[in-house]
């Protein structure tokens, strides 16, 4: 395996692939396997750029995808990988919630379970900060509240990378929060673009939860009621 795919090495070792909750027509249902393969290629291509330039000493891969998921959900008995095809009606809602008009048509989400108990959700967001990419993982509780934000790889000079303490401010944020740098998200001197990219990524994940992952019902004590597949 080439070094450019190092971040995804053995990425399927403990990850179950199951269909998403979008209801497709029979014709699309028969093509779910193709869509999952396409989504995997998209993620491979996106994350591969993190290690394209090994000569850049300032770039760093901190942790691989599988290791990050296992660390986020140490009690999980399985972690599903869902390749969600965004339908037009869902795309309109996502664009409204995020304020963006160029969202991907396919998104890969992870759902963690301990037997029949839902532990939470995760998404690995890959995007350019200035001219080079970074990848970080946003983990949500079953109720759609941010639990952790963790950097997996950062290809810009490390001087532009905010501290772990800065990323910790996203903990407890939910869909009601605006997540704007300079508003409810503190800025970072010398790392303004990195801060904005992080806030945008967290806002996208909260929108994905709202549109694609949110359970249909909530119990009387406020806990999301979800049936295990």
pLDDT digits (tens, 9 = 90+) for 131-168: 999 999 999 999 999 999 999 999 999 999 999 999 99
pLDDT digits (tens, 9 = 90+) for 175-184: 888 898 888 8
Residue with tokens 């939860």: 209
Nearest by Cα to 76 from 142, 167, 4? 142
85: Cα separation from own chain's centroid:
15
CA dist 17 and 33 (Å) reads 10
Nearest by Cα to 194 from 217, 220, 167? 167
């Amino acid at each position: 395996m080439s070094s450019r795919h190092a971040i995804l090495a053995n990425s399927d070792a403990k990850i179950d692939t199951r269909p998403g909750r979008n209801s497709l027509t029979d014709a699309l249902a028969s093509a779910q396997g193709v869509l999952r393969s396409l989504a995997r290629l998209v993620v491979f291509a996106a994350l591969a750029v993190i290690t394209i330039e090994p000569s850049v000493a300032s770039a760093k891969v901190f942790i691989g995808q599988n290791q990050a998921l296992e660390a986020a959900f140490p009690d999980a008995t399985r972690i599903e990988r869902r390749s969600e095809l965004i339908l037009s009606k869902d795309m309109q809602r996502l664009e409204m919630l995020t304020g963006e008009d160029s969202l991907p048509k396919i998104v890969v989400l992870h759902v963690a379970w301990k037997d029949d108990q839902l532990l939470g959700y995760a998404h690995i967001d890959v995007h350019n900060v200035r001219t080079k990419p970074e990848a970080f993982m946003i983990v949500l509780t079953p109720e759609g509240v941010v639990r952790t934000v963790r950097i997996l790889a950062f290809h810009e000079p490390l001087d532009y990378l905010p501290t772990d303490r800065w990323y910790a401010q996203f903990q407890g944020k939910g869909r009601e929060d605006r997540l704007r740098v300079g508003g409810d998200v503190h800025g970072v001197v010398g790392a303004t673009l990195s801060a904005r990219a992080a806030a945008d990524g967290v806002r996208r994940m909260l929108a994905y939860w709202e549109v694609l992952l949110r359970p249909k019902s909530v119990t009387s004590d406020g806990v999301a009621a979800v049936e295990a597949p």
